[in-house]
Structure 1
Amino acid sequence: MPIISEKQENQKQVLTLNDLEKRKVVEHNSLITSIAKMDKTPLKMFELAVSCIDTEKQLEDNTVYLSKRDLFAFFKVSDNDKHSRFKEAVEKMQKQAFFKIKEKKDKGFEFENIVPIPYVKWTDYNDEVLIRFSPEIIPYVVNLKKNFTQHALSDLAELNSKYSLILYRWLSMNYNQYEHYSVKGGRREEQVESYRNPTISIKELRTMTDTVKLYKEFRDLDKRVLKESLEEINTHTSFNVTYEKVKKGRSIDSIVFHITKKRTAEDNSYKLDDRAYQEDKARKAETEDQLVLQAMDSPYTKLLMEHFLLSYLDLMDKKILAGLQAHVYPLYDELKELRGLNGVKDHLSYVASKQEAYSKRNVAKYLKKAIEQYLPTVKRQDL
């Protein structure tokens, strides 16, 4: 009896004729932030199987079909032992691999352990492989209307570390939201930027990468989970990613990633020609320089220095000064109108007394948040 029916043959042909370079993986965000209790091979095989799902059609019998040829091409296997290695990978995936999913519900969090692919069928005399998803994983990969992420299968093909795969999926989830809200709106500017510069606590990073009991020293976690993974991601995917370590006291508390996308001819983000791109860049630089000059002349800069909320090093940073002039000083003007300059001084004295909560890496953001929280109180008192 053949593995697939005549009705299913059409679906199989569409999937196997699709170039691997064009396939997309679409997954719910809860799956991306889950703990993947598996090594790199089962995880990559799962991603390959998900890429076979036609998101615009009903998935019949929770089943997809792919060819061994595609599978071996994806894993770049060409030796004579490839069939036995495929068999070992499938068996390992079914015996050991599962996702630990934590999803927020109305009354609290819901926890699930899901074996994603419990059934695989193939023969030694033809090219087809049948992969059947578990019913429990289906809501995370089929008919997704919101809170989902799409990334290119080709980006995953060259990643050879489990941590690279996990971080790439998480970075894609954030950058997708940056692209979405940059075009559609619906978020404040700083929220949109936070998707391109996402922060993750060390505790969350360890949980997501399943390293809670591994790499106890941060320098080992930094090397194995961050440096080595981002080197792979930067070399083999469409992203360029850097990161900063954020301290709380003497310990590293969290990581801030900075994501940019590589320029390609096909990317709509870079359809400006080189001249237009350079002109746009020059205009932004000119605007930044103007803001810096205004900040240097502002009495608020002197007040921040007097209260030790700005250092001389901060005065050398254009981004900090431009950020203050553009986003913080207009709010100080509002407070000055309500309470006078002494009101601004009182506010800064209070903020200075709370400096233990303040990160020098984000001085403009910190000061903006402080005044945004204080102004509504002042306005209510004046009613």
Structure 2
Amino acid sequence: YVEWTDYHDEVKIEFHREIMPYLINLKKNFTQHALSDIAELNSKYSIILYRWLSMNYSQYEHYSTKGGRRAEQVESYRNPSISIKELRNMTDTVNDYERFQSLETWILKKPIEEINAHTHFNVTYDKIKAGRSIDSIVFHIEKKRTADDNSYKLDDQAYIEDKKQKEETEKDLVFEAMKSKYTQFLLENMLLSPYEMTDTALMAGLQAHVYPLYDELKDLRGLNGVKDHLSYVASKQEDYSKRNIAKYLKKAIEQYLPTVKRQDLS
């Protein structure tokens, strides 16, 4: 849904709840990078290559735990291949570094040295020939282990299962939050935006910690009581609250519920 009027410059775009799980999945699994990693990279080619490698490795992690791909397909995400032509197009070097030796130095060797030194990845590569020429590159991506990883992941399979269970729980919470009438009330009162609905941690937090309290209020005052409460919260909302809207909403309802219960007792 798009709303625009020619007398101002604002455009309102609203996503239907049925499409939100796809947007969440895209955001969560395939397009995120560690900003701390990118901040350490100086070469534009290092950044371009890191983003591409990160996208592939994210798919490897996703399908390793979720399934949905054959084993060889999953491994291809950890060992992605790219033709020299595609590599030149991706790095905008179609007309630069005509000799492969120069291309390799500036587009492969130096960027990978930077990536290995400053990011969470260790990357190597193999050159694949077609005849006498180099036709493509196959990368091999490994994720570095931290001290925390070694202490926590004593059993990789147990770690994978635990991670999968947590992801499934979060997914269930997000799905329930998307369907909840309380989410609609928050949108109507501009306490939540369609963009914020793509934040899986936020939506799961609302469903787990805030919406049960709204259920308590609904039992005491009905749905109109919840609507009135949220209308009041919206009118009193301070700027800082948008930084952690779930915490703000939880605090507001926790402060309000005792008042309602005391009124009902009297």
TM-score normalized with structure 2 length: 0.48
Between Structure 1 and Structure 2, the one with more strand by share is 1
TM-score normalized with structure 1 length: 0.33
Between Structure 1 and Structure 2, the one with more helix by share is 2
